[in-house]
Chain A
Amino acid sequence: MVKLNFNDIKEGDQIPSLTKEPITQIQLVKYAGASGDFNPIHTIPEYAKEAGLDGTIAHGMIVMGMLGQMISNWVGVKPVKEFSVSFKAITRPGDILTAKGEVKRKIENADGKSIAIKVQIEDQKGEVKVGGKAVIKID
């Protein structure tokens, strides 16, 4: 984790990316238990097929969690003031996700200094699964 220096940051700077291990079915079972989201569409292939899918799909929130991991790897959690995402595409077991981000804007106002970053996570084919933004305060 780094302590950011406002003067050293430029709009367009890339933040350190994060490539994850392939998503596994057992990981989705673990995530169901951890988060308390037991929708069987994530864990039981037969149920997912009845719902018209090819198989189970990942919880959107595990993918947001991976974006969060990239952010907290970089700056921890204390400086993060906002983090929001839109879910854009389905993630399936076997997908290999890479989280990326860049500095969009430097902000200096009565509340102090902060940066707005744009984040997104895509699969091995470049399909964006989740996109969003975060605001990071800099002391």
Chain B
Amino acid sequence: MDAFSPVSALAGGALIGLASALLWIGNGRIAGISGIFGQLLPPANTVIWRIVFLVMMVGGAGAAALLLPGLGPEGAGGAALSLKGSPLWIAIAGLFVGVGTKIGNGCTSGHGVCGLARLSPRSFVAVGVFMATAALTVAITGVA
């Protein structure tokens, strides 16, 4: 079972904050992953930087795993990572995530990090609602 990991949580969070600050100060953009991903769809006039961001995000996660293999589940890099549930369960979950982040205009990064840091009332509402709904969902459907 996973255990509380305050040091890696604080360090990883700082990296995420740094990434968000860099994109804001450098490019004037909010690092909201659902927005960057969702707007790969037409009509998107600036697709290139979104692709660069996402490809480098995957690369950054992979590189960090090579440098710090001990942080993966069971200390085995990313090898033991698995998703919860049947393919149908996963597809339904993905659909909810896609629809929800689109119409709610943000996810854990856009609302949860950037929006809260901006003290945006919309983001406080969004984070409160999706945290509560997610916790309720887990209470009903379970962790494993």
Do A and B actually bind? no
**Which residues does A use to contact B, with CB under 8 Å?**
none
